[in-house]
Amino acid sequence: MTSDAKTTHIPWLGAAVLLLLPVAVLILGQFLPTYPLRVLDMILLYAILGLGLNIVVGYAGLLDLGFVAFYAIGAYSWALLASGQFDIHLPFWLVLIIGAGLAGIAGILLGIPVLRLRGDYLAIVTLGFGEIIRVLMNNLDGLTNGPQGIARIDEAHLFGWTLSTPLDFLYLLVGLLIIAFLFVWRIEGSALGTALSAVREDQDAARGCGIDTTRVKLVAFCTSAMIGGAGGVVFAAMQRFVSPESFTFWESLVIVLVIVVGGLGNPFGAILGATLLILIPEMLRAWADYRLLLYGIALVLIILSRPRGLLPRAYGPSWLMRRLGGGR
């Protein structure tokens, strides 16, 4: 076989490798009992959220500590539009679009006033935005039922398929993870991805090169928020109960840790980071009194040993495809 033929055919091996993980997860899910299956669902959900946050933090270099706000908007979209709260019962697929759309609008509304902010100032403002959304959900008794939350949310139905068990949601989450992964990967290799990288490295230089940094930042916030909103809709459908306690600053911090531990700017890193950050606390349940202490020590050791993340930016899907395609 010539080198040209080899280069033509081996990229299919790269595609097969990228499909190996979801196939393995689906096969594994068939044999897991209910509780481990729920843990696996949460890993996939946080991987999707990590992929969304990676657009803003990993690609654009904008520290967003209020990502949980978009997650909450999506969750409450399903809770309000598919429950007895206002006797509205919209289909799941429609609320998934609505929740993602509302979160995207909120992302734009957040992005507009913070366009000139960087670093610590940006982090503080986004943190405040996340807390504002949580406080609103906690105080709008007539709309969100306040701290008591919204219960008796409808079961999700997707084109005649009832999502009622953890295995049902496993199929849904694997599908959404594949879509989010491919979407984020395509952004990385697009003109938008190049612009985001330029903004991350030096906003002033990017502006001097003719890049509309205002538009680039707004697109980053919007697309990131839409993924977070979609994740929130799925979360509410899984739990069938939402309350403000599910959307505290700790949740935002966990999602940030997912991509920091996994590797900023690497879609594979979001998946690996979500796996570790969900599995480690579960594995430490036997040491309940020292659980958070051991969890913190584990995170510190990981970050000290791999300051750029377990899978740095350079070792993403594009690198894998080049390696399997015979490139350097």
> What would the pLDDT profile of 261-277 be if each residue is shown by its tens digit?
999 999 999 999 999 99
> What pLDDT digit, counting tens, does each position of 284-315 carry?
888 878 888 988 898 899 889 988 889 888 88
Tell whether the torsion through CA atoms of 245, 249, 254 and 255 is positive or negative. Answer: positive
Q: What is the pLDDT of residue 290?
A: 86
DSSP letter, residue 267: H
Q: Where are the strands (E) in the chain, listed by range? A: 82-83, 88-89, 156-158, 161-163
Read off φ and ψ for residue 45, nearest 5 degrees: -65, -45
CA dist., res. 145 & res. 137, Å (int) = 8
Contacts 24+ apart (CB under 8 A), 155-160: 155/237, 155/240, 156/78, 156/82, 156/92, 156/237, 157/91, 157/92, 158/92, 158/93, 159/93
CB atoms within 10 A of CB 69: 31
Q: Which residues contact 217 (CB under 8 A, 6 or more apart)?
A: 60, 62, 111, 115, 199
CB atoms within 10 A of CB 171: 15
Are the C-beta atoms of residues 267 and 317 closer than 8 Å to each other?
yes
Q: Which residues contact 140 (CB under 8 A, 6 or more apart)?
A: 146
On the CB side of 97, how many CA atoms lie within 13 Å of its CA?
5
Residue type for position 254:
V
Q: What is the pLDDT of residue 12?
A: 63
* pTM for the whole structure: 0.92
Nearest alpha-carbon partner for 118 in 63, 163, 186:
63
Give the pair of three-digit tokens for residue 251: 């949740």
Residue 158 DSSP SS3: strand
Q: What is the pLDDT of residue 15?
A: 63
Residues 21/27/31/36 CA torsion (nearest 10 deg): 30
Q: What is the pLDDT of residue 90?
A: 95
Environment class of 120 (CB within 10 Å of its CB; exposed 0-12, middle 13-18, buried 19+): exposed
Which regions in the chain score pLDDT beneath 50?
A: 1-10
Q: What is the pLDDT of residue 10?
A: 46
Q: What is the pLDDT of residue 120?
A: 83
Tell whether the torsion through CA atoms of 53, 156, 33 and 246 is positive or negative. Answer: positive
Which uninterrupted H or E stretch holds 81?
helix 68-81
What integer best gives the mean pLDDT of the chain? 88
> What pLDDT digit, counting tens, does each position of 54-80 carry?
999 999 999 899 999 999 999 999 999
Give the pair of three-digit tokens for residue 317: 């899907």
Q: What is the pLDDT of residue 65?
A: 92
DSSP letter, residue 314: G
Q: What is the pLDDT of residue 223?
A: 96
Q: What is the pLDDT of residue 55?
A: 95
Q: What is the pLDDT of residue 202?
A: 87
Q: Which residues contact 35 (CB under 8 A, 6 or more apart)?
A: none
Nearest alpha-carbon partner for 34 in 165, 173, 189:
165
